[in-house]
Amino acid sequence: MADTIVWNTTAEEIIKIYKTDLSGKVVIVTGSNAGIGLEIARVLSLAGAKVIIPSRTLEKSHQAIATIHETVPQADLIPMQLDLSDFATVRKFAQDFLALNLPLDILVNNAGIVIEQKVLTKDGFESQFAVNHLGHFLLTQLLEEKIKASAPSRIVITSSAFNAQFNPITGLDFDNLNGEKEGYSMLCAYGRSKLCNIYHAKELQRRFNAQGVDVTVTSLHPGNVKTKMNGGATFSILKDLLKHIRRVSLTISDFMSPKDTKLGASTSVLCAVSPNTVKGAFYNNNKINTDLLHEEAENEEAAKRLWDLSEKLLSK
């Protein structure tokens, strides 16, 4: 039976509805030191999971753990260091996690950035492309064997409705993934990275299916959530939105009336725990929503091309 949970069900209400018991399960939530990532980690720990709390610094991880312990004192949380913009630290994180000899039942690739200016990472990549896509692509590859060994397992990838707003109708511009062309736009770069997330999720699911491995991969739009990620750039984002928007599925009123984190985390938690989660699907507001997908979201050739290119870029 399909999920009938309404859009304004909170993340915590979802685990209560399903009577979710994650005792003995291990979860990684990237970006779990703040925003919806913090709420996802809190709720999954409330359901009994051991949750890895990765942050760019251990200090931020410990701060997040202290915050979660305020409402979930029994939470089993492990602080670790992970900077998705620095691929050496992604490799080090994966190595350190694997050394713990734990299963990996749920990987939530939630972290993301929106920045107004074009900035290159130390590895030479445009920051939004690096953090939102390449860093998570690398992390998932490094942990893939552990995820398969823990099956049935899940990977939840946070994308955005902006995947359909700021890419041409023809799909990804593979000659501009790294912002090589002139006229950098914050939201066009963000939109590219979010379409990459969807291609990553769908190609991952196809590959797991071909291997006969029971791993469920989903991508999602959490909604416009009021977090530190977008809170400081509202005016600039709105100007870019008005300049480039081409789809009515994302309205200005939606943008100007953000959800709180309890609602913003709900779709991610639903994808992570619902017995009815559909493999390879795109979710929004606690249900499958294809209206927010780019016209080329199901383009398998483009997804494979992005996969091959991502591997090539990360091998340098």
Instruction: Give the residue from 230, 247, 160, 154 showing the smallest Cα distance to 197.
Output: 160
Structure tokens at 285: 């507001």
Measured CA to CA, the distance from residue 15 to residue 273 in angstroms comes to: 7
Pairwise CA distance, residues 299 & 107, whole Å: 24
Question: Which among 184, 190, 199, 283 is annotated as catalytic?
Answer: 184
* Helices marked H in 18-125: 35-46, 58-71, 87-99
Please give the backbone phi and psi of residue 53, each rounded to the nearest 5 degrees, phi first.
-110, 90
Q: How far apart are CA 180 and CA 150, in angstroms?
A: 39
What residues have CB less than 8 Å from 203, skipping those under 6 apart?
Answer: 300, 303, 304, 306, 307
184 is catalytic: yes
The pair of structure tokens assigned to 84 is 């998705």
Which are the catalytic amino acids?
184
